[in-house]
Amino acid sequence: MQINDTLIDDTFAEAFPMKATRLIITAHTSAWARNAALSLTGFATSVIDCGCEAGIERDLAASETPDGRPGISVLMFAVSSKELAKQIGRRVGQCVLTCPTTAVYSGIDPATSRAPLSDNAPLGSGLRFFGDGWQISKMLDGTRYWRVPVMDGEFVCEESTVTVKAVGGGNLLFLARDIDSALAAAEAAVTAMHRLPNVITPFPGGVVRSGSKIGSKYAGATASTNDAFCPTLIGLSRKSELTPDVACVLEIVIDGLTDADVGAAMTAGIAAACELGRANGMLRISAGNYGGKLGPYHFRLRELAAGIGGARA
């Protein structure tokens, strides 16, 4: 299949189950809400070594937040409920509680969530102890909130956050003529994906250059460079999937609250990258998988691309 002369590989991206939550961070100004969100989502690109994958979902107007202040929506993903709870406690405690004027709330409504619900994770129920006995709780419409005294006033925090069963590891590989072409395609794709709800692209700027495969020739290493897509290894690696005209490959990894959310983001990314087309160096779009052995979610690129305008066999 081709779109604007960009080849869509006959392959699939393989994703796996995760646990996720949405946190709503508010503050006196949008700038301080963003400061807290950026700190919370730092060092959260991959569960391989970071413990979780996290990113900013979108900015929130004051009319969209529980306390009527500007805010930021953040999504966090981990491989288990236990790990997710640990990461929430650490990151909110060190990055939101510490940030001037902030408050934090659960951002998933159990009544409307399309993602299957999981166990709630502690939020204020653990952070309240920072109050050293001065903290107080308040019940509003059946939800408990904690008010913790801090030096700029009070830190308000919902007692727990709703968590759901989610999907991680959707991905696209952009094979391009040069670095400028690859960056242009990846940036356009990330921008398109970020217009959609319920998804994040956790790597820096949404893009990763160090795509990995499972395992390594070195004992103890769980992942290593994806030599099949390294341009400098054309002719050296027997697994290379590149042709000599490919000089750069960039990857986008997508986490979403449901498989439909991941699929929609991947479709948007494919469409955005293909608008550039082969004439602008966007040669092929592929994806990473492990033969179906890693996860049960298989996103077939040609099925996703079939509904994009200009797609042809």
Per DSSP, the residues of 277-290 read TGGGTEEEEE----
Please give the backbone phi and psi of residue 34, each rounded to the nearest 5 degrees, phi first.
Answer: -70, -40
Same domain as 96, residue 140: yes
**Number of separate domains in the chain:** 2
- Asked if residue 116 is part of any domain, the answer here is yes
- Asked if residue 59 is part of any domain, the answer here is yes
Q: Which helix (H) or strand (E) element contains residue 94? A: helix 81-95
Q: Which helix (H) or strand (E) element contains residue 218? A: none
Gyration radius from the chain CA atoms: 21
Same domain as 160, residue 62: yes
- What's the pLDDT at 290? 84
> CA angle, corner 72, sides to 66 and 77, nearest 5?
105
Q: How far apart are CA 112 and CA 139, in angstroms?
A: 22
Range of the domain at 207: 2-14+167-305
Asked whether residue 64 carries a pLDDT value surpassing 90, the answer given is yes
Q: What is the pLDDT of residues 207-256, one digit of tens each?
A: 999 999 988 999 988 889 999 999 999 999 999 999 999 999 999 999 99
Asked whether residue 259 carries a pLDDT value surpassing 90, the answer given is yes
DSSP, collapsed to helix, strand or coil, labels residue 311 as coil
| Spatial contact of 282 and 271, defined as CB atoms under 8 Å apart | no
CATH of the domain at 45: 3.30.70.520
Name the average pLDDT for the chain.
Answer: 96
Q: How far apart are CA 35 and CA 96, in angstroms?
A: 9
Here the tokens at position 1 are: 């299949």
Mean pLDDT along residues 71-98: 98
Q: How far apart are CA 94 and CA 271, in angstroms?
A: 39
